Chain A
Amino acid sequence: MKVATQTFKFYSLVLMLFVSAFAMAENTTDPVQNSGGQVDTKDKVDAYILHHIQDSHDFSLFSYTSDEGERKHFGFPLPIILWTSNGLRTFMSSEFHHNDDGHVVVEKNGLKFAKIHSKIYELDGAAASVAFDETHHATNAHKVLDLSITKSVVGVLIIGLLMLFWFTGLARQYKKRQVPTGFGRVLEPLVLYVRDEISRPNIGEKHYRKFTGYLLTVFFFIWFLNLAGLTPLGFNVTGQVAVTACLAIFTLIIYTVSGNKDYWMHMLWMPGVPVLIRPVLAIIELAGAFIIKPFSLLVRLFANISAGHIVVMSLIAIMFTLKESLGVVGATGLSLVLSFFITLIEVLVAFLQAYIFTMLSALFIGMAVAEHDHDHAHDEQGHEVSDAEDVRGDFI
């Protein structure tokens, strides 16, 4: 009963947040710029998709053009926090009026800002507007460190809070009963799955406990954010390079810090190979550990999720792009069927990518903490005879 009331409270809080956001956003009109307009041609679709793939400074739910030709946006603004050449500046994203090509200049305490392709630029000196060169790069403005609460950050916060809420709820349940009920019953097998199928076999019985917390967090973080990306809210958090890079670097730091003597030995001065080859191997191993592994982690997740978003949105856009050749019904039907099945696949990919990221993180950590301390058998010449355990140890 207590849990039920808590859940109710929580959902009413979320609902209130959304309602207030709608109230705030209700009448945001955009008199300045109509370039958003209707998205109905191939170029506009491409631009829209690329825009969506990027992080955004306001949380737009949908937008339409009214009969008067005014562009109306539904959503809510998010705070912009900038670390500029002259200290901290904060304002709401609504001050840009959904402009994304640098034409709206916001002035705060003597500094002027413009937003170009979802990046915020600080105008140099006394310039009043942004000047562009022929490749549409700003010539009199530079990027600032943008610590804004962007849409991705909102996604991270929501998913983070949900995770805390759900899993601390699960943790609380164990105080009262052995087998959780309700939503906890759904979460428990997932936790067990990560522990028993990802963490334990890859890291080993002896050390897995220490890293399981990180792996669980990362798994659910990526998975929930991937799933959130499939909702019409349109998050693309795990499709942001910065986010996946951050995740990959966490894994890198963890396996570098927890690497044991054997790990560094095998990396820097590989035993069992001719001495001349060892430095070459060391270079390869170092590159592998510090560049290739994290890079593969970050690019795999980023590329898969971004590609998923692009494909789903492109298939939805078939509705417009093939309208002439297939007719309204044909194009819409084709688009619906294709995007439905791709979305199903994306649900699988959402899980798969979370699994792969966690699995590889566990594998890399497992390599770093693997122990090679068993007795080696020796043949007549005194060389070590490699057994199956050695091969495994060398492999992971």
Chain B
Amino acid sequence: MDKLLNDFSPGLFVVQTILLLLLILLMVKFAWKPIMNSLTEREEGIQGALDAAEKAKLEMQNLQADNANLLKEARAERESMLKEARDIKNTMIEDAKTEAQTQANNMIAQAQAAIESEKKSAMAELKSHVAGLSIEIAEKVVRQELSNKDKQLELVASMLNDAKLN
């Protein structure tokens, strides 16, 4: 202890204190502060870059998932569109068929109606023609018959006979 105190030089202590204080101040101002700031900045930069890369990776994954979804959706849409088209085609064919059917039916019905009315008018014409012809024949017959008295009487008698039968 005595030796220690004897070795202790107050002058050196004073000089060392001044120099160390100066050194600390200078080093802090001109070396440590810029170095520490740069190191922190660099570390933050590296961390930021890593974070950004991680984020980009996640985004990429999201994008890929989105793409897959999109693809799936598109496929589903195509599927549904095809189905729709097929349906439309079917209904169109069906519609066309029924329409043609009804139209044909109508046409047939019209034709039948036309035929019927033609037939009727033909019948009527025939009837009237037959009637005229019958009257003509009857006239001729009657005229011939009435020229002979006996025959007239005979006719009346046959008619009366007929009437009795009725």
Where the two chains meet, the residues of A that have a C-beta atom closer than 8 Å to any C-beta of B are 54-55, 83, 119, 145-150, 152-153, 156-157, 160, 163-164, 167-168, 170-172, 174, 178, 188, 191-192, 195, 209, 212-214, 216-217, 221, 240-243, 245-247, 249-250, 299
For B23-50 the 0/1 string (1 means CB < 8 A from A) is 1101110111111101100100100000
Complex CA–CA separation, A255 to B84 (angstroms): 84
Find chain B residues with CB under 8 A from A246 CB: 13, 16-17, 20
Contact indicator A209/B13 (Cβ below 8 Å): no
The 8 Å CB contact of A148, one of B11, B33, B34, B36, is B11
Contact indicator A119/B9 (Cβ below 8 Å): yes
If A167-B35, A212-B32, A217-B27 touch, does A160 touch B11 (CB 8 Å cutoff)? no
Indicate whether B15 reaches chain A with its CB closer than 8 angstroms.
yes
Complex CA–CA separation, A147 to B30 (angstroms): 27
Contact indicator A152/B42 (Cβ below 8 Å): no
Complex CA–CA separation, A396 to B26 (angstroms): 30
Indicate whether B162 reaches chain A with its CB closer than 8 angstroms.
no
Contact indicator A167/B27 (Cβ below 8 Å): yes
Could you tell me the distance in whole angstroms from the C-beta of A57 to the nearest C-beta in chain B?
Answer: 11
Complex CA–CA separation, A164 to B34 (angstroms): 13
**Can you list the 7 inter-chain pairs with the closest CB atoms, starting with the nearest?**
A174-B38, A167-B31, A146-B11, A213-B28, A171-B34, A242-B13, A242-B12
Contact indicator A160/B9 (Cβ below 8 Å): no
B35 (CB) vs chain A CBs: closest residue = A171
B13 (CB) vs chain A CBs: closest residue = A242
Contact indicator A170/B26 (Cβ below 8 Å): no
If A156-B16, A178-B42, A243-B16 touch, does A164 touch B36 (CB 8 Å cutoff)? no
Contact indicator A195/B10 (Cβ below 8 Å): no
Find chain A residues with CB under 8 A from B42 CB: 174, 178
Complex CA–CA separation, A213 to B27 (angstroms): 8
Contact indicator A250/B20 (Cβ below 8 Å): yes
CB-CB contacts below 8 Å: B28-74 with A: 28, 30-36, 38-39, 42, 45
